[in-house]
Structure 1
Amino acid sequence: MEPYSIVPGNHPPPDAVAAHEPAAARLPRANPHEVAHILRGVGEDWARLRPVTDTEAWKAVAARLAPDTLDRLVATGRAAARRPVTPLTASQWRTYTRTGDRTAYEKPWYERRTALADLLVAYTLAPDGDVLDALVDMLWATCEETSWSFPACYAVEHPLELPDPEKPIVCLFSALTGVGLAESLHILRPVLPAELVARIEREVTSRVIDPYLEDDHWGWLYNRPDMNVNNWTAVCGFGAVGAACYLVRDEKRLATILCKAARSMEEYLQTFDPDGATSEGPSYWSFGFGSFCQLADLVERRTGGTWDWFGAPIVERVARFPLDSRITVDSWPTFSDCDAGARFPGPLLVLLSERFAVPGLMDLAGTPSASWTWKNANGPVTQALRSLAAGTTAPPRPMPLPEPSTWFRGVASLTARVNAADPETLAVAVKGGHNRELHNQNDIGSLIVRVGGEDLVVDPGRGLYTRDYFNEHRYEFFVNRSFGHSVPRPAGLEQAEGLDHRAAVLALDRSKHCDQVAYDLTGAYPSDGGELRLLKRTVALHRGDLPRVELTDAFAFAAPATAESAFVTFGEVTVEAARVVIRGERAALAISLPAGTTADVHTEDVQLAFAVRRTSRIAVRPVKPAESTVLSFVLTPL
């Protein structure tokens, strides 16, 4: 196996394709001299979308839209033109530095970017003087912003009360602003005042493109012994390098930027599971991998089809992740910082379906699980333009069926369902992995049981992002602690954070009648106490006449100690003599209690990303401590 890095200690995490099959993430090699030569041979019409003065091209875009969709998009943009530019103030920024609350600044930021996208779409479809004036105002106001970053991102580089315009940073949302402005300028350049054109070029170059090229310190750019790349790598790369594709006219300089990006994107691709999974979950598949794909598409077009970043074998595997990661036909596990009700960008699904000839992705694009809107999207302008190019929707299609079960060997995650075609079927998801995953939660062994179209044993998913959510207080949040997951608590211990705290897969058996996995979870817990000697978790989904989930936790201690298995739920909990019943909105689940155990229920209001949920943790313990305990449960739909 080739070296991952010449730096001692800089090793790939065990779940990454780089640890198993490094060549799968390799992009085609090129040097700046070669790339510059290629760029000189590519004409100015390389981009997917044309300048607005190409009226025939934009009439063709409009003709692909349903009449009511066309009318709605134009009306939305004209309504935005009648509203004043949403203010972004120092006080809103300081709310974060004072309290850690992110929404005061981020909400109006999104409103501005969404309004820009609405105005741009309306003007391209039906040019109007008032809309153009509003576009000029919005573009100018964006250039006037002291920082394009969020306060939370800016504080990572500069812990200041207010941003310093002399210290721009390349982060998620400054980079997305940069490429959004560059694509807006590409389309609107012929109708914008020359002074505004120059201003946009100058601001994007100085705030995003130059810092990307000239500075290597960004923590997201390359792997380091203390930090691996993640979705930031793809998003920031798409923003900065995508903007450069439009604005940098010097072929040598652009070639240098593209070659730097290729190295960075290759390291990003190395983070994926060898079967295409990401430990960041479906939401960050859309954000991170979606950004990689948008950049790969731009690079291929900008180089006249010569430099193909889609060709790395891992890319096609990752492209299939929305199809392969489902718990039932129309739902996805909420492991890590993932929201319930995952949705995937429709234009991205179409792009990948066509690129890799995967009909299931095209089918998925025509279901409610695809998003074609750009309201509050992370990059509203880029999402709007790609949605527009793809027709803003896909024909309604039935949801493609998953396999009976799916196993991702890197992240050690199993999903299995009784009836793959039934959205209300009994299904289970369980994960192994380690506790330094991307967007990590201490959740090794986490279990989800779904029936009746709802999760009854849950992984809570993503909490509300605040300052403390991403600092040393992260594992004080219910959703990030192992206490907030359906995992054991041996001798009162919670799991510990870090790459050394991981599960080992002991057995995997997938068959027509039963799917079963067994993990050694011992390493997930602190070893300094010395009490825990062994913790084995086995999860099985049984099909047949009596569909059920069986869970067994086997504990061994150095001295008598208390074993504890747990089930987390948003449902109503009733403890009976020999079982616990969880009742949701549409279904119910019975959990048998082992003989000689008691069940306690802890309930609290948990702040999730978009709502506060009443959450219960059912703890099952034997009456007496022991050196060896086996807790076995049968989970049966009612």
Structure 2
Amino acid sequence: MKTDWRSSVIAQLEKEAEQFLQTSTVSISFDTYRKFMRNGDRQSYEALYFLQRKRLTTFGLLQFLYPERQAYTEALENEIWQVCNEFTWCLPAHLDRQFEEQDYKTYQQTNQLQYTVDLFAAETAFTLAEMIHFFGEHLDDFLVEKVKIEIDRRVFIPFLDGSFHWEKATHNWASVCGGSIGAAALYLMNGDRKQSLIIDRVIQTMNYYLAGFEEDGACTEGYGYWQYGFGYFVYFADLLKRYRNIDLFEYPKVKAVALFQQKVFLADNTVVNFSDAAPTAAPMIGFTHYLHKKFSEVHVPTESLATTSIVDHCGRWAPAIRELCWYDPKLKGRNWPTGSCLMEDSSIFLSRIEQHAFAVKAGHNHEPHNHNDIGQFILYSRGNVFLRDLGSGQYHKDYFSDKRYQFICNSAEGHSVPVVNGFYQQEGARFYGEIIHAEQNNNYDEIELDLSRAYPGQLQFTRSFQYYKTEHPKLVIIDNFLFNESPSSLVESFIAEDLPFDLQDNKLYLEGDKETLEISYEKDIVLPTVKRKSFRNHQGEIECYLHILCEVVSLNKQVSLRFECNLLGGK
């Protein structure tokens, strides 16, 4: 007998809790704390920090489900106690060291400890505030008061006494930090003047967050950051409407942002993963049900696509509890709809037909979580991303520094964009591309990009795609270059899935699980090579891919290159 989603979630929570009950609470050493400052290592500290949050959230969810079970209550109290006694709620990678690591002289002048308020400090405040709101009568009275004190001194006081860079950010930091602080204030401050000051500032921050979206509502940070950033916007907006009768859902753009999810899946759980995004993801089903009730146009996907592991890799409480509370078993989902979608303002296009899809972007090279990827595209068919995006690499101190584009997944070298006169695309808003033509039909889609400003120097460059939506789809790529003088070199570059391949005459074959992709080219014009390469993905694992390099051997002022990608069917 098939088990329903909610029952599967609860069974998994109980299993994880049983394992946690057999192990001791998390302790983080000073050496582990110092690793990021010493060598840029984020993973050692964050693995333990997030394990602590997973334990906290898991026991909190089971307290919600089984308030009469004393073992869960006691375990939750112990985890809350551990969190209250942490040196900082902020990650070392986000620390302002003049605060947490203030010297004794500074401490004597202020007589108080100083704290950085980052994403995770703010989230922790939200988590603990909501937990004592829900479970306060079941928890030790002293512990409840301890939580209030810790939230006040670690988050409310620093926020009220200062200002933070994220308050005017136009990306996920604004909504997560601001929304978490605002939610905690709504729970704990009981309508006093300080609460009003916090809420007013948070609403301003939410306006900055929404300003980061174009009118089409696309999240150029990637789908994961849509779930994260827009999620915390919605969590705060929901509480604000209930506590203050202020409706942020009426704001311009919110509906468009809510519709983004259904415009970014290639098929099933495979995502258009431009920027720092994972190649696969699971829709948050309870969150989607909530959005569908706010905006009926929000597509409800099939339940089978939703994860039953509602406690994410960071152990976040706010999305997990809402997956349980907002899930509506009466809402029956469907497959992602067939069709094409042009997000014109954000320069992203997706065409989806059953188990086949094609996506492309233009944009600029100063986007949030930017990759140098103007003109990048993805080709998917029946379980294989034949021409792929590497997505996010492993986060490290250098990943968000001036060394960012030394990481292959962020650089132009790691994307399906050409190398012109030996130059890869560079970072910066001055490098951009535009969608200059888009035609959407039942049988084929056509889209053309002007990429002339994506490279330095005097160059006219257009890239066009024709995607034929037949039983075995075909993608035709045509790159037209016009130089002032003949280029010294020109190399077409394609990033492909790590698959068995066969290079024959004027064709390259990639053997997928259920399909074979045939890429044909003009052998008198280009000389192809295929190299197997690797990078470290977001989970820190070594992941391989194929790098197809097509050197242009016939160079003139005007160069036209054509590549046909035919899906041949197969197994």
Q: CA deviation at 1:505?
A: 2.3
Residue from 120, 123, 144 that aligns with 1:173: 120
Whether 2:525 is the aligned partner of 1:579: answer no
In the alignment, structure 1 residue 103 sits paired with structure 2 residue 43: yes
Secondary structure at the counterpart of residue 344 of structure 1:
coil
SS in 2 for 1:526: coil
Q: Which amino acid aligns with 1:341?
A: T
Whether 1:144 aligns to 2:80 is no
Q: What does residue 556 of structure 1 align with? A: 482
Distance in 2 between residues matched to 1:161 and 1:597, nearest whole Å: 60
- Residues 359 and 334 (structure 1 numbering): CA distance in 2 closer, same or farther, change over 3 Å? closer
Task: Please say if 1:316 is aligned against 2:255.
Answer: yes
TM-score of the superposition, structure 1-length normalised?
0.82
**CA-to-partner distance for each residue in 1:67-114, whole Å, 9 max, x for gaps?**
776566456445534431111222222222222221111111111111
Identify which of 334, 351, 356 aligns with 1:416. Answer: 351
Is the CA contact (8 Å cut-off) linking 1:533 and 1:556 kept in structure 2?
yes
Find the residue that maps to 1:626 and give its secondary structure. coil
Q: Check the 8 A contact 2:96/2:116 in 1, yes or no.
A: no
1:183 maps to what in 2? 130
Structure 1 spans left out of the alignment, 5+ residues:
1-63, 223-227
User: Which whole-Å CA distance do the structure 2 matches of 1:329 and 1:78 have between them?
Assistant: 32
Superposed displacement of residue 383, structure 1:
2.6
Show the counterpart of 1:287: 228
Corresponding residue of 1:602: 531
Structure 2 residue identity aligned to 1:499: A
1:489 aligns with 419
Whether contact under 8 Å (1:74, 1:125) holds in the other structure is no
Is 1:245 aligned with 2:186?
yes
Task: Say which is worse superposed, 256-265 or 601-610, in terms of deviation.
Answer: 601-610
- Say which of 450, 454, 469 aligns to 1:543: 469
Is the Cα–Cα contact under 8 Å of residues 331 and 341 in structure 1 kept in the other structure? yes
Measured after TM superposition, the shift of residue 380 of structure 1 is 2.5
**1:388 matched residue in structure 2:** 324
Is 1:89 matched up with 2:29?
Answer: yes
Counterpart in 1 of 2:52?
112
1:231-630 correspondence to structure 2 within 5 Å:
231-303=172-244, 306-328=245-267, 331-358=270-297, 360-361=299-300, 364=301, 366-378=302-314, 380-390=316-326, 394=329, 397=332, 399-417=334-352, 420=353, 422-423=354-355, 425=356, 427-527=357-457, 532-544=458-470, 547-561=473-487, 562-570=489-497, 571-594=499-522, 595-610=524-539, 611-630=541-560
Q: Given residue 193 of structure 1, which amino acid in structure 2 is its aligned partner?
A: D
Query: Within 1, Cα distance between the matches of 2:554 and 2:176?
Result: 52
Match for 2:351: what amino acid?
A: A
> What is residue 70 of structure 2 aligned with on the other side?
129
Distance of 1:475 and 1:76 partners within structure 2:
39
Letter in 2 for 1:131: Y
What is the distance in 1 between the residues matched to 2:378 and 2:501? Answer: 16
Give the 3-state SS of the residue equivalent to 1:568 in structure 2: strand
Query: How far off its partner does 1:559 sit?
Result: 2.1
Give the Å deviation of 1:587. 2.5
SS in 1 for 2:438: strand
Answer yes or no: is the 8 Å Cα contact 1:273–1:408 preserved in 2.
no
Structure 2 gaps of 5+ residues are none
The one-character-per-residue Cα deviations of 1:206-237 (angstroms, maximum 9, x if unpaired) are 11122223322x22111xxxxx5211100101
Counterparts of 1:66 and 1:345, CA distance in 2 = 13
Any conservation in 2 of the 1:563–1:629 contact (CA below 8 Å)? no
Question: Partners of 1:430 and 1:375 in 2: how far apart?
Answer: 32
Further displaced range: 578-587 or 177-186 = 578-587
In the TM superposition, residue 385 of structure 1 has moved relative to its aligned partner by 2.0
The aligned runs of 1:213-228 (5 Å cut-off) are 213-216=160-163, 218-222=164-168, 228=169
Aligned residue type for 2:536? Q
Question: Match for 1:207: what amino acid?
Answer: R
- The Cα of 1:240 is off from its aligned counterpart by 1.1
Point out the more displaced range, 402-411 or 367-376.
Answer: 367-376
Question: What is the distance in 2 between the residues matched to 1:250 and 1:219?
Answer: 26
CA drift of 1:526 comes to 2.5
Q: Is the 8 A contact 2:55 2:315 kept in 1?
A: no
Aligned to 2:116, the other structure's residue is in SS state coil
Q: Letter of the aligned partner of 2:76 in structure 1?
A: L
Q: Distance in 1 between matches of 2:404 and 2:161?
A: 33
1:334-379 deviation per Cα after TM superposition (whole angstroms, max 9, x unaligned): 1111101122222211110111123623xx2x43332353333445
CA contact (8 A) 1:406 1:416 kept: yes
Checking the alignment, whether the CA contact within 8 Å between 1:374 and 1:381 is kept in structure 2 is no
Q: Deviations over 1:169-223 (max 9, x none)?
A: 111111111100111111222233332222111111111122223322x22111x
In structure 2, distance between residues paired with 1:501 and 1:104: 36
Residue correspondences, number: 553
Aligned-pair distance for 1:574? Answer: 2.6
The whole-number CA distance in structure 1 between the counterparts of 2:390 and 2:79 is: 38
SS in 1 for 2:289: helix
Query: Matched residues in 2 for 1:402 and 1:112: separation?
Result: 39
RMSD (Å), alpha carbons: 2.5
Pairs within 5 Å for 1:75-86: 76-77=16-17, 79-86=19-26
Q: 1:540 to 1:488 in 2, by over 3 A?
A: same
Shift of 1:118: 1.7
Per the TM alignment, residue 65 of structure 1 is displaced from its structure 2 partner at its CA by: 9.3
Distance 1:597 1:286 in 2: 42
Distance 1:243 1:342 in 2: 29
